[in-house]
Structure 1
Amino acid sequence: MNIYDGHIHTPYCPHGTKDSFHQYIERAIKLGYQAMTFTEHAPLPQGFEDPTPDKDSGMQLENLENYIEQITQLKKEYSEDILIHTGLEIDYIEGFENETTAFLDRYGPYLDDSILSVHFLKTKSGYHCMDYSPDVFGKILEECNSIQDLYSLYYNTVKKSVNADLGAYKPRRIGHISLVMKFKNKYPNVDINKNEILETIDLIARQKIQLDYNGSGVNKPLCREPYPPDWIISEALKRNIPLVYGSDAHRAGELGQGFGELKQEAPLTHPI
């Protein structure tokens, strides 16, 4: 494939598989990857209670140093075969900006690359992991007046993440900005407010940050398209936003997923 994959999970993911780092790397080499970033779900901010049933949205803080050390060793082991970067997928959670900044101040110096993503939405009843399941998405929808309002809640949160001051080590790439569309075949939005999405894209362009061009949505049964879809990618290209392919693999066999479904004329960027 001769590609860079900037969004890969690991055996440290509590809701993924236990496929080893070596399995991921050997698979990447077999596929012809030139480079890869491991971006495990970072520990959730101090004081934030994970709303998912198994409390498994992020890795445990006590495992983080081992995670970094393991990747450091793997960089040396595979130095002649593939370029490996140390990264994290950081959750932007509204109201926990200070805690997130403190975490990044502490661990940011050890990271080569990172992603800032929105998985959690705040409603009157509390926080919800939006992409956890169709049922959870439906419960959030019940609190909103319409599917349009739920999309607005998501994109307003993404815009807050782009604008947030998270310190010197704030991630320079925004993750899967159409994640709200993960269950679109069950909860269709036939009247998408494209302006609020374009406003989000404009903010990303002004901040001169990258966009995660995420292939995992192709294999989600209620989505079946990349995050984001072609029309959003076309708008990103008009604004010269760098696109970084991400498989968002949670098992070694998912490396490369969705790559063939990406917009063919979209140039892909190495994030570093």
Structure 2
Amino acid sequence: MKIDGHIHTPFCPHGSKDSLDQYVEQAIQLGFEQISFTEHAPLPRGFTDPTPFKDSAITLQEMERYLLEIRGVKERFRKDLNIQVGLEVDYIEGFEEETRKFLDEYGPHLDDSILSVHFLKKDLTYYCLDYSDDVFGQMIECFSSVGNVYEAYFDTVLSSIESDLGKYKPKRIGHITLVHKFQRRFPCSEDFKAPMIHILERISDLNLQLDYNAAGLFKPLCQETYPPQWVVEEAKKKKIPLIYGSDAHCAKDLGQGFPTIFKG
């Protein structure tokens, strides 16, 4: 089945205002049989978005309308496309209980979901690691080296995999090498192969899925999928399900990179 399992919506405050119908029409045109709308879930209560415009996620007040509109488009196009109601949920160190409570409330209304790490904690400060290369440069100064940022990221990804977020914890781990987004400006001399293998082992142990995210191919300072090919091959050896995701934030990007990834 041809699936795009990671798609954002006009509800995304840092995305486009393309309509849900535009996304669906793009999916149908490209021959997709199933898509998941996975908007950035509201950030946990008590957490302050560190991005300048506080635009990392939708608000809790928008959740009911989001679910209603996705259900509506799901019903309208049900004969043409299998549409999944989903969310991309942030794992944020120190906010596990708040995230569990959110999932307990909204998880029953979802068909699909992704668990991702965008925020890293250093002392008492949180950073959005993929916001910009300049912010990533500031993080390197705060963490003392590129390698330390990578280490903190992979440690946090591992924590997300092993965390108890309740019955409705997402089964798919999002873009597990997002820390590579700015690697061409800030190369890392360490390969972090051992931590990555351990992460894959834990994903396999817990019967989780992996987001095979094409967005990095189109980021000028990354130019590779999240995760890169060697990790994909290791995941296949461990029989971890790989779910393609465009991570589209506008309709034209739905399906981006699919022909490149699956050319063979």
Amino acid at match of 1:15: H
**Distance (Å, rounded) in 2 between the aligned partners of 1:146 and 1:70:** 44
Q: Equivalent residue for 1:113?
A: 112
Q: C-alpha offsets along residues 139-188 of structure 1, whole Å, 9 cap, x if unaligned?
A: 11112232222111000000000000000000000000010000000001
**Aligned-pair identity (%):** 54
**Distance (Å, rounded) in 2 between the aligned partners of 1:196 and 1:214:** 20
Residue aligned with 2:139, SS:
helix
**Distance (Å, rounded) in 2 between the aligned partners of 1:125 and 1:114:** 28
> Relative to 1, partners in 2 of residues 1:141 and 1:263: Cα closer, same or farther, differing over 3 Å?
farther
Amino acid at match of 1:19: D
- CA shift at 1:260, angstroms? 2.4
**Distance (Å, rounded) in 1 between the aligned partners of 2:261 and 2:119:** 26
**Distance (Å, rounded) in 1 between the aligned partners of 2:121 and 2:90:** 13
Q: Equivalent residue for 2:99?
A: 100
Deviating beyond 6 angstroms after TM superposition, the runs of 4 or more aligned structure 1 residues are none
Query: So what's the TM-score if we normalise by structure 1?
Result: 0.95
In the alignment, does 2:23 pair up with 1:24?
A: yes
Q: Equivalent residue for 1:268?
A: none
Q: C-alpha offsets along residues 231-260 of structure 1, whole Å, 9 cap, x if unaligned?
A: 000111111100000000000010111112
Name whichever of 191-200 and 91-100 sits farther off.
191-200
Amino acid at match of 1:68: L
- CA shift at 1:23, angstroms? 0.5
Q: C-alpha offsets along residues 74-133 of structure 1, whole Å, 9 cap, x if unaligned?
A: 111101110001000000000000000000000000000000000000012500000000
**Distance (Å, rounded) in 1 between the aligned partners of 2:134 and 2:262:** 31
**Distance (Å, rounded) in 2 between the aligned partners of 1:74 and 1:260:** 26
In structure 2, stretches of 5+ residues that fail to align are none
Q: 1:72-221 to 2 correspondence within 5 Å?
A: 72-221=71-220
Residue aligned with 2:182, SS:
coil
Name whichever of 207-216 and 193-202 sits farther off.
193-202
- Equivalent pairs, count: 264
**Distance (Å, rounded) in 2 between the aligned partners of 1:48 and 1:94:** 10
Q: Equivalent residue for 2:242?
A: 243
In the alignment, does 2:59 pair up with 1:60?
A: yes
**Distance (Å, rounded) in 2 between the aligned partners of 1:44 and 1:144:** 24
In the alignment, does 2:40 pair up with 1:41?
A: yes
CA RMSD of aligned residues (A): 1.1
- CA shift at 1:191, angstroms? 2.4
Amino acid at match of 1:203: R
Amino acid at match of 1:226: T
Preserved contact between residue 148 and residue 192 of structure 1 (Cα < 8 Å) = no
**Distance (Å, rounded) in 2 between the aligned partners of 1:182 and 1:130:** 9
**Distance (Å, rounded) in 2 between the aligned partners of 1:97 and 1:20:** 32
In structure 1, stretches of 5+ residues that fail to align are 266-272
**Distance (Å, rounded) in 1 between the aligned partners of 2:208 and 2:262:** 20
Residue aligned with 1:182, SS:
helix
Amino acid at match of 1:174: I
